[in-house]
Amino acid sequence: MKSLWDDAAAPAFADDPLQLRVYTSRLLGQEPALVMHGGGNTSVKMQVDHFFGEPEEVLCIKGSGWNLATIEAAGFAPVKLDVLQRLAQLEKLTDTEMVNVQRRAMTDPGAPNPSVEAILHAIIPGTFVDHTHADAVVALSNTPNGEAAVRDIYGGRVLVVPYVMPGFLLARMVYEMSRDLDWSALEGMILLNHGVFSFGDDARTSYERMIKLVSEAEDHLDRRGALKAVTLADEPAAPADLEKLSRVRRKVSQARGGAVVAPLVTTAAARGFAGLDNVGAIANRGPLTPDHVIRTKQLPVIIGDDADRCIDQYATDYEAYFQAHTDGRLKILDPAPRWAVWPGVGTISFGRSMKEAGIVEDISRHTCRAIQWAEALGGWQALPARDLFDVEYWELEQAKLGKAGSEPPLQGRIALVTGAASGIGRACARELRGQGALVTGLDIDAAITGQWSGDDGLGVQCDVTDYAAVQAAVEATVRQFGGLDILVCNAGIFPPSCTIADMDADIWQKAIDINLTSSQRLMQLAAPYLKNGIDAAVVIIASKNVPAPGPGAAAYSVSKAGLTQLARVAAMELAPDGVRVNVLHPNAVFDTALWAPEILAARAEHYGMTIEQYKTNNLLGVEVTAADVAAMAAAMAGPLFRSTTGAQVPVDGGNERVI
């Protein structure tokens, strides 16, 4: 591991210890092999001026909820140093007491809650203190001879601290161990099964000691051949059983009590790990550090031939683990796994959002690698379940997770919308995303790829009558998000006005192909996944022309009427699998690409109306917008319609012919 210290970037802050603290904290945060997603913490001891002018000694320590990679000065909590140092001398202190006393001792009441390691940072004499959960060091200590190897590598340059619960207990242990200690002879501390501390009187020394300590562990792993013991798959990934993936996701969602996303990870590293003969055994020994338990739980689920049974068994085992360790007052968390090892295929990350699944994926990737390092050093050996349970059910850790707030109605659901680049389709896709769904948008317009790229969206340019392309889009959706719950069949054309007598055969056929047949094929391609969906729903965007047709629009009206009949049959055929199918009949939605201003003006003139009169020519006298249609589509896809299938709902401002 290399130092990222850059003289050109650092000197500008040389007279400001907090800015230097921000700078080297971010250097640590940039390296995922040191810390990930809120892990690790840093501090600086400095003087601040009290309101009445007297200087005060404070420990500015990383605030809870901040990431080292992106931390700012405002992310550090200033706590009176002498208060923290006195806390370390107490025999006992509950977590709640610790948090309360620390908050009262803050010189800035608006700052975030100090890290749970504040007391430990305070008793280390170095001005700057850095703490990480470096993979190499933790993996090394997760082996049978780990402690001996640590002592061998570092000699007397570090204090070796046995595993103990982080927070007050850890601070208390280090306080006892260091009563007669000459700190100046030390470069840092190795916390077995947990991480590394370094310290120094300037930011660079402390940071570079961290890099040095971690590099020494990496060198040790390298000399023992452990770094090379990581298996990477060299064959290209075989097509995965995506229908099974969608079943895994459904089962995990049921255990979780809400829809999860389940992206399939088939990188060479994930497939290499999942292809190991003993993967079921080595993956089931525990996490890299207890700090990860709140994100990943203690263990992944290993997916066997009968995936449902594996996930049921996982939940049963989790409940037994809880019962074995609870004091009777704790409330059990959901028993759903946070990640899966799918032997021979790869790994799956679960989350209520793609962000959460991404965090799980990062942690599981590092875990898979570290397990293989440790295996090469004599065997992967995680902490006992008791220690992991204490962290998983630690009230301070639970508080971090509890801040999520209420979730939108479609959180974690997965949708596919056709014709999503403009008009009603785009409004539907936006509304679904706004309500928490992951959305794949299909459109023939190339603009779709730019509109829906990113982790929680997929934009696919394709012709909805190109069934190979549509199939690829459905499969890409399942691979990226884990399944498919919501289908919005919206793509359509409105051919030029033409009587039956003058009908052009190609125009007729094109309307039938795009407006009707493409939806049948899409439902056919999506059905295997919708059947495994979470509260699965199909929303058909039909037209007022179905209940109230007009002359000159035979191709359009017939294709939309056929689409409506298709939906009615689908409602009956898919009901046994819990898939709802409902139809929306919009009318006169003018804020779409179809209605250029000059066309609108021409139509209004044709009926002898002003544009305003023409737009609001319905019983309620309202202008119907694409957003109105989208809101109804999202409602049909959501819990409001959980008991409704086969319904046809107009969104037209009221029309005498329809009523």
Considering the complex, state which of residue 197 and residue 342 has its C-beta at the smaller distance from Zn ion: 197
DSSP letters, 475-538, are HHHHHHHS---EEEE-----PPPB-STT--HHHHHHHHIIIIIHHHHHHHHHHHHHTTSSS-EE
156-215 binders of Zn ion (CB under 5 A):
195
Q: Strands 55-62 and 76-80, how do they pair?
A: antiparallel
Shortest distance, position 30 Cβ to Zn ion, whole Å: 18
371-400 binders of Zn ion (CB under 5 A):
none
Distance of alpha carbon 42 from alpha carbon 206, whole angstroms: 10
Considering the complex, state which of residue 251 and residue 292 has its C-beta at the smaller distance from Zn ion: 292
Q: Which residue has the closest beta carbon to Zn ion?
A: 195
Shortest distance, position 166 Cβ to Zn ion, whole Å: 5
Helix axes 203-223, 146-154, angle to 10 degrees: 120
Amino acid at 539: V
Shortest distance, position 412 Cβ to Zn ion, whole Å: 30
Three-point CA angle 50, 53, 58, nearest 5°: 30
CB 604 within 8 A of CB 590: no
Residue 367, SS3 per DSSP: helix
Distance of alpha carbon 455 from alpha carbon 646, whole angstroms: 33
CB 384 within 8 A of CB 441: no
| Six-digit token string for 547 | 């209940």
Distances in Å between the Cα of 275 and the Cα atoms of 132, 358, 366, 410, 538 are: 31, 22, 17, 35, 37
Considering the complex, state which of residue 195 and residue 286 has its C-beta at the smaller distance from Zn ion: 195
Considering the complex, state which of residue 75 and residue 195 has its C-beta at the smaller distance from Zn ion: 195
307-366 binders of Zn ion (CB under 5 A):
none
Considering the complex, state which of residue 117 and residue 485 has its C-beta at the smaller distance from Zn ion: 117
Shortest distance, position 370 Cβ to Zn ion, whole Å: 16
251-310 binders of Zn ion (CB under 5 A):
none
Considering the complex, state which of residue 39 and residue 419 has its C-beta at the smaller distance from Zn ion: 39
Shortest distance, position 174 Cβ to Zn ion, whole Å: 12
Shortest distance, position 400 Cβ to Zn ion, whole Å: 13
Considering the complex, state which of residue 114 and residue 195 has its C-beta at the smaller distance from Zn ion: 195
Distance of alpha carbon 133 from alpha carbon 40, whole angstroms: 6
Three-point CA angle 307, 308, 313, nearest 5°: 100
Give the residue among 57, 15, 20, 16 at the shortest CA–CA distance from 42. Answer: 20
Shortest distance, position 305 Cβ to Zn ion, whole Å: 39
Give the residue among 532, 526, 475 at the shortest CA–CA distance from 240. Answer: 475
Distances in Å between the Cα of 506 and the Cα atoms of 511, 549, 550, 555 are: 9, 21, 21, 10
Three-state secondary structure readout of 221-266: HHHCCCHHHCCCCCCCCCCCCHHHHHHHHHHHHHHHCCCCECCEEC
Considering the complex, state which of residue 383 and residue 478 has its C-beta at the smaller distance from Zn ion: 383
Shortest distance, position 191 Cβ to Zn ion, whole Å: 7
In the sheet that holds 76-80, the strands lie side by side as 76-80, 55-62, 41-49, 128-132, 195-200, 188-191, 158-161
Shortest distance, position 197 Cβ to Zn ion, whole Å: 9
Considering the complex, state which of residue 116 and residue 442 has its C-beta at the smaller distance from Zn ion: 116
Distance of alpha carbon 483 from alpha carbon 246, whole angstroms: 5
Q: Strands 264-265 and 346-349, how do they pair?
A: antiparallel
Shortest distance, position 4 Cβ to Zn ion, whole Å: 21
Considering the complex, state which of residue 115 and residue 418 has its C-beta at the smaller distance from Zn ion: 115
Helix axes 554-574, 518-530, angle to 10 degrees: 20
Consecutive H or E run containing 86: helix 81-87
**Active-site residue flag, 556:** yes
Distance of alpha carbon 8 from alpha carbon 265, whole angstroms: 39
Count of residues touching Zn ion (by CB under 5 A):
1
Tokens 């992967």 sit at which residue?
Answer: 380
The number of residues making up the chain comes to: 659
Shortest distance, position 483 Cβ to Zn ion, whole Å: 35
| Six-digit token string for 529 | 């996944």
CB 158 within 8 A of CB 186: yes
Considering the complex, state which of residue 29 and residue 195 has its C-beta at the smaller distance from Zn ion: 195
Catalytic one among 314, 318, 556, 614?
A: 556
- Residues with catalytic function: 556
Residues that bind Zn ion (CB under 5 A): 195
